[in-house]
Amino acid sequence: MNDVLVDVLRDRADLAPDPDELWDDIRHGIDARRGRRRATVAAAGASAAVATAAITAVAIVPARSHQHAITAGGPRPAPASTSRPTAPGGPPTRAVVGRPARLVPVKPPAAAKLVLSFAPEGWRYVGSSPSSTAYSNHGGSPDVFADKVVLLYGAPTQTRYPLTIGTHRGAIWTSTGYTAVEVRLSATRALTMQVPPALALTKTQLIKMVGTATVRAGALPGRG
Protein backbone atom coordinates (compact mmCIF):
# COMPACT_ATOMS: atom_id res chain seq x y z
CA MET A 1 0.00 0.00 0.00
CA ASN A 2 1.31 3.39 -0.86
CA ASP A 3 1.22 6.39 1.40
CA VAL A 4 0.57 8.80 -1.44
CA LEU A 5 -2.63 7.09 -2.49
CA VAL A 6 -3.80 6.90 1.10
CA ASP A 7 -2.95 10.58 1.58
CA VAL A 8 -4.86 11.58 -1.55
CA LEU A 9 -7.89 9.57 -0.49
CA ARG A 10 -7.69 11.00 3.01
CA ASP A 11 -7.47 14.51 1.61
CA ARG A 12 -10.56 13.85 -0.48
CA ALA A 13 -12.35 12.52 2.58
CA ASP A 14 -11.36 15.66 4.47
CA LEU A 15 -13.51 17.61 2.02
CA ALA A 16 -16.61 15.86 3.40
CA PRO A 17 -19.42 18.26 4.31
CA ASP A 18 -20.52 18.93 7.84
CA PRO A 19 -22.61 15.98 9.10
CA ASP A 20 -24.82 18.16 11.29
CA GLU A 21 -25.73 20.37 8.36
CA LEU A 22 -26.47 17.35 6.21
CA TRP A 23 -28.58 15.83 8.95
CA ASP A 24 -30.97 18.75 8.62
CA ASP A 25 -31.23 18.07 4.89
CA ILE A 26 -31.84 14.39 5.52
CA ARG A 27 -34.65 15.16 7.93
CA HIS A 28 -36.06 17.51 5.33
CA GLY A 29 -35.85 14.80 2.68
CA ILE A 30 -37.57 12.29 4.96
CA ASP A 31 -40.34 14.76 5.71
CA ALA A 32 -40.74 15.47 1.99
CA ARG A 33 -40.93 11.76 1.21
CA ARG A 34 -43.51 11.26 3.93
CA GLY A 35 -45.44 14.16 2.49
CA ARG A 36 -45.37 12.68 -0.99
CA ARG A 37 -46.60 9.38 0.37
CA ARG A 38 -49.41 11.09 2.23
CA ALA A 39 -50.31 13.02 -0.91
CA THR A 40 -50.44 9.84 -2.94
CA VAL A 41 -52.61 8.13 -0.38
CA ALA A 42 -54.86 11.15 -0.20
CA ALA A 43 -55.13 11.28 -3.96
CA ALA A 44 -56.36 7.72 -4.02
CA GLY A 45 -59.33 8.66 -1.90
CA ALA A 46 -62.31 10.72 -2.83
CA SER A 47 -61.40 13.35 -0.31
CA ALA A 48 -58.12 14.38 -1.89
CA ALA A 49 -57.18 17.79 -0.65
CA VAL A 50 -56.56 20.04 -3.60
CA ALA A 51 -56.74 23.75 -4.00
CA THR A 52 -59.88 25.02 -5.64
CA ALA A 53 -59.33 28.71 -5.95
CA ALA A 54 -59.91 30.41 -9.26
CA ILE A 55 -56.92 31.19 -11.41
CA THR A 56 -56.12 33.75 -14.02
CA ALA A 57 -57.08 33.10 -17.61
CA VAL A 58 -54.67 30.89 -19.43
CA ALA A 59 -54.35 29.97 -23.06
CA ILE A 60 -52.93 26.94 -24.72
CA VAL A 61 -50.39 27.18 -27.48
CA PRO A 62 -50.86 24.40 -30.02
CA ALA A 63 -48.13 21.92 -29.51
CA ARG A 64 -45.88 20.64 -32.19
CA SER A 65 -45.93 16.99 -32.95
CA HIS A 66 -45.18 14.93 -29.83
CA GLN A 67 -44.90 18.03 -27.71
CA HIS A 68 -47.08 19.59 -25.11
CA ALA A 69 -46.60 23.33 -24.81
CA ILE A 70 -48.73 24.97 -22.18
CA THR A 71 -48.59 28.73 -22.12
CA ALA A 72 -50.12 30.88 -19.46
CA GLY A 73 -51.63 33.98 -20.92
CA GLY A 74 -52.55 35.71 -17.72
CA PRO A 75 -51.14 38.97 -16.53
CA ARG A 76 -47.54 38.90 -15.45
CA PRO A 77 -47.51 38.42 -11.71
CA ALA A 78 -46.14 41.07 -9.46
CA PRO A 79 -42.91 40.22 -7.68
CA ALA A 80 -43.56 38.39 -4.48
CA SER A 81 -42.93 39.95 -1.15
CA THR A 82 -39.38 39.63 0.07
CA SER A 83 -40.67 38.45 3.40
CA ARG A 84 -40.51 34.70 3.32
CA PRO A 85 -42.71 32.54 5.47
CA THR A 86 -41.22 29.52 7.09
CA ALA A 87 -41.63 26.30 5.15
CA PRO A 88 -44.12 23.86 6.61
CA GLY A 89 -42.42 21.20 8.59
CA GLY A 90 -39.36 23.20 9.49
CA PRO A 91 -37.29 26.28 8.96
CA PRO A 92 -36.22 27.38 5.49
CA THR A 93 -33.32 25.33 4.25
CA ARG A 94 -30.00 26.53 2.93
CA ALA A 95 -31.36 26.18 -0.58
CA VAL A 96 -34.00 28.83 -0.43
CA VAL A 97 -33.19 31.16 2.44
CA GLY A 98 -33.28 34.77 1.35
CA ARG A 99 -34.02 34.01 -2.31
CA PRO A 100 -36.53 36.37 -3.87
CA ALA A 101 -39.35 34.54 -5.57
CA ARG A 102 -39.41 36.73 -8.65
CA LEU A 103 -39.89 34.86 -11.88
CA VAL A 104 -37.46 35.52 -14.70
CA PRO A 105 -37.27 34.01 -18.18
CA VAL A 106 -34.80 31.16 -18.44
CA LYS A 107 -33.27 29.71 -21.54
CA PRO A 108 -34.56 26.16 -21.94
CA PRO A 109 -31.64 23.73 -21.82
CA ALA A 110 -31.23 21.89 -25.09
CA ALA A 111 -30.73 18.49 -23.51
CA ALA A 112 -33.74 18.48 -21.23
CA LYS A 113 -37.03 16.93 -22.25
CA LEU A 114 -39.04 18.93 -19.72
CA VAL A 115 -38.24 22.61 -19.57
CA LEU A 116 -39.42 25.74 -17.85
CA SER A 117 -39.64 29.10 -19.58
CA PHE A 118 -39.74 30.97 -16.28
CA ALA A 119 -37.93 30.17 -13.07
CA PRO A 120 -37.40 31.95 -9.77
CA GLU A 121 -34.61 34.47 -10.07
CA GLY A 122 -31.26 32.89 -9.35
CA TRP A 123 -32.46 29.37 -10.03
CA ARG A 124 -30.81 27.47 -12.82
CA TYR A 125 -31.08 24.17 -14.61
CA VAL A 126 -28.95 21.53 -12.90
CA GLY A 127 -29.80 18.39 -14.80
CA SER A 128 -32.46 16.12 -16.15
CA SER A 129 -33.57 12.66 -17.07
CA PRO A 130 -36.18 11.79 -19.70
CA SER A 131 -38.84 12.01 -16.99
CA SER A 132 -37.57 14.84 -14.79
CA THR A 133 -35.74 18.13 -14.87
CA ALA A 134 -34.32 19.88 -11.84
CA TYR A 135 -33.59 23.54 -11.22
CA SER A 136 -31.69 24.78 -8.19
CA ASN A 137 -30.18 27.89 -6.67
CA HIS A 138 -27.36 25.96 -5.04
CA GLY A 139 -26.34 23.32 -7.56
CA GLY A 140 -26.41 19.75 -6.34
CA SER A 141 -27.50 16.56 -7.97
CA PRO A 142 -30.54 16.48 -10.28
CA ASP A 143 -31.36 13.14 -8.69
CA VAL A 144 -32.07 14.70 -5.32
CA PHE A 145 -35.28 16.72 -5.47
CA ALA A 146 -35.34 18.22 -2.00
CA ASP A 147 -35.03 22.02 -2.16
CA LYS A 148 -35.17 22.04 -5.94
CA VAL A 149 -37.76 23.04 -8.48
CA VAL A 150 -38.51 19.85 -10.35
CA LEU A 151 -40.59 19.00 -13.39
CA LEU A 152 -41.85 15.43 -13.51
CA TYR A 153 -43.53 13.65 -16.39
CA GLY A 154 -45.64 10.64 -15.62
CA ALA A 155 -49.05 9.30 -14.82
CA PRO A 156 -51.65 11.59 -13.25
CA THR A 157 -51.59 11.37 -9.48
CA GLN A 158 -54.69 13.32 -8.53
CA THR A 159 -58.34 12.34 -8.53
CA ARG A 160 -59.57 15.90 -8.96
CA TYR A 161 -58.25 18.65 -11.19
CA PRO A 162 -60.23 21.72 -10.26
CA LEU A 163 -58.07 24.24 -12.10
CA THR A 164 -57.91 25.17 -15.74
CA ILE A 165 -54.43 25.63 -17.12
CA GLY A 166 -54.65 26.39 -20.79
CA THR A 167 -56.97 23.73 -22.15
CA HIS A 168 -55.83 21.27 -19.55
CA ARG A 169 -57.06 20.53 -16.09
CA GLY A 170 -54.75 21.12 -13.18
CA ALA A 171 -54.39 20.86 -9.45
CA ILE A 172 -52.26 22.50 -6.82
CA TRP A 173 -51.53 21.01 -3.47
CA THR A 174 -49.12 21.62 -0.67
CA SER A 175 -47.48 18.94 1.33
CA THR A 176 -44.65 18.81 3.80
CA GLY A 177 -41.53 19.81 1.97
CA TYR A 178 -43.02 20.83 -1.33
CA THR A 179 -45.82 22.48 -3.22
CA ALA A 180 -46.94 20.76 -6.39
CA VAL A 181 -48.82 21.83 -9.47
CA GLU A 182 -49.98 19.10 -11.79
CA VAL A 183 -51.30 19.51 -15.29
CA ARG A 184 -53.25 16.56 -16.62
CA LEU A 185 -52.16 16.26 -20.24
CA SER A 186 -54.12 13.10 -21.01
CA ALA A 187 -55.69 10.15 -19.26
CA THR A 188 -52.27 8.63 -18.76
CA ARG A 189 -49.89 11.56 -18.77
CA ALA A 190 -49.38 14.52 -16.47
CA LEU A 191 -46.74 17.15 -15.94
CA THR A 192 -46.05 17.88 -12.31
CA MET A 193 -43.97 20.76 -11.00
CA GLN A 194 -42.68 20.49 -7.47
CA VAL A 195 -41.31 23.58 -5.70
CA PRO A 196 -39.96 24.24 -2.21
CA PRO A 197 -42.70 25.96 -0.16
CA ALA A 198 -40.16 28.37 1.29
CA LEU A 199 -39.99 30.07 -2.10
CA ALA A 200 -43.50 31.28 -1.26
CA LEU A 201 -44.53 31.45 -4.90
CA THR A 202 -48.02 32.74 -5.44
CA LYS A 203 -50.60 30.61 -7.16
CA THR A 204 -50.37 32.87 -10.18
CA GLN A 205 -46.61 32.37 -10.32
CA LEU A 206 -46.99 28.62 -10.02
CA ILE A 207 -49.51 28.61 -12.85
CA LYS A 208 -47.24 30.77 -14.94
CA MET A 209 -44.27 28.48 -14.41
CA VAL A 210 -46.03 25.24 -15.17
CA GLY A 211 -48.19 26.88 -17.78
CA THR A 212 -45.17 27.87 -19.83
CA ALA A 213 -43.35 24.60 -19.35
CA THR A 214 -42.78 22.37 -22.35
CA VAL A 215 -42.73 18.61 -22.66
CA ARG A 216 -40.46 17.83 -25.56
CA ALA A 217 -40.30 14.82 -27.80
CA GLY A 218 -38.29 12.11 -26.11
CA ALA A 219 -39.79 12.65 -22.69
CA LEU A 220 -40.53 9.36 -21.01
CA PRO A 221 -43.08 8.84 -18.27
CA GLY A 222 -41.74 8.03 -14.87
CA ARG A 223 -41.68 9.47 -11.44
CA GLY A 224 -38.22 10.97 -11.63
Binding site for other proteins (CB under 8 A): 1-2, 4-17, 19, 22-23, 25-26, 29-30, 33, 127, 129, 139-144, 146
Nearer to other proteins, 41 or 57 (CB): 41
Q: Smallest distance from the beta carbon of 185 to other proteins, in angstroms?
A: 25
Nearer to other proteins, 9 or 57 (CB): 9
Nearer to other proteins, 77 or 92 (CB): 92
Q: Smallest distance from the beta carbon of 175 to other proteins, in angstroms?
A: 15
Nearer to other proteins, 5 or 187 (CB): 5
Nearer to other proteins, 1 or 46 (CB): 1
Task: Judge whether 145 and 224 are in contact, CB under 8 Å.
Answer: yes
Q: Smallest distance from the beta carbon of 161 to other proteins, in angstroms?
A: 29
Residue 153's identity, in one-letter code, is: Y
Q: Smallest distance from the beta carbon of 186 to other proteins, in angstroms?
A: 28
Q: Contacts for 165-171 with beta carbons within 8 Å, 24 or more apart?
A: 165/55, 165/58, 165/70, 165/72, 165/207, 165/210, 165/211, 166/58, 166/59, 166/60, 166/61, 166/70, 166/71, 166/72, 166/211, 167/60, 168/60, 168/70, 170/207, 170/210, 171/50, 171/51
Nearer to other proteins, 16 or 187 (CB): 16
Q: Smallest distance from the beta carbon of 198 to other proteins, in angstroms?
A: 17
Q: Smallest distance from the beta carbon of 45 to other proteins, in angstroms?
A: 22
**Residues forming beta bridges with residue 169, ordered by sequence position:** 164, 184
Query: Rounded to whole angstroms, what are the CA distances from 111 to 51, 83, 88, 126, 224?
Result: 33, 35, 33, 11, 16
